[in-house]
Amino acid sequence: MKTALILFSEGSEELEAVTVVNILRRGGVAVTLAGLSAGALRGSRGVLLTPDTTLDEALTHSYDMVVLPGGQPGTNYLKADARVLKLVQHMSAQGKYVAAICAAPSVLAAAGLLDGKRATCFPGALDAFPQVLQQHAAVVEDGKLITSRGPGTAMDFALVLVERLVGKAKRDEVEAGLVRG
């Protein structure tokens, strides 16, 4: 079974985190939602989420993919956490999927993963990183780096993640069950 680690901190965008967790689980992916700290965490819109585990505990396991939701100040907390930067660098070096949405692609850029790479983000989130080849699509893939624009693209983003981990047939099955049209 494929595995994914989703990170969550105080001030992360809960719509992005929950959408990704939900859709990956619908696709049969074993998902772990890890908090930067223990206990329930309040997202950027005031929703209280209780992660499955802490980041420290999650780091004792391996995953096929790591996903960073955006939101503020959550993205800033992810970017300031040395464990997060080391994790995304390590996952990328291992050829694993590294994905980020909304403002969180700036975490990947701060970790040096987006130098000369195509990426998208919430408008303005990557302006401090001129080395990133910014795109304006809902979801942008450059190798195993996957980025997306924001809350409104979370479902498209999550479906791409399902497809990359478990294939197009599973993505199509999950999408049909969502009754998007």
Res. 117 pLDDT band, cuts 50 70 90:
very high
Query: What's the structural domain count of the chain?
Result: 1
> Residue 46 above 90 pLDDT?
yes
- For 83-111, what is the mean pLDDT? 98
Res. 181 pLDDT band, cuts 50 70 90:
confident
CATH code at position 124: 3.40.50.880
- Domain carrying residue 171: 3-178
67-87 tens-digit pLDDT: 999 999 999 999 999 999 999
Reply yes or no on whether 121 is catalytic: no
Q: For residue 170, what pLDDT is reported?
A: 98
- Please tell me the number of Cα atoms within 13 Å of 111 on its side-chain side: 29
pTM of the model: 0.97
Report the chain's mean pLDDT, rounded to a whole number.
97
- Please pick, among 18, 23, 31, 102, the residue that the annotation labels catalytic: 102
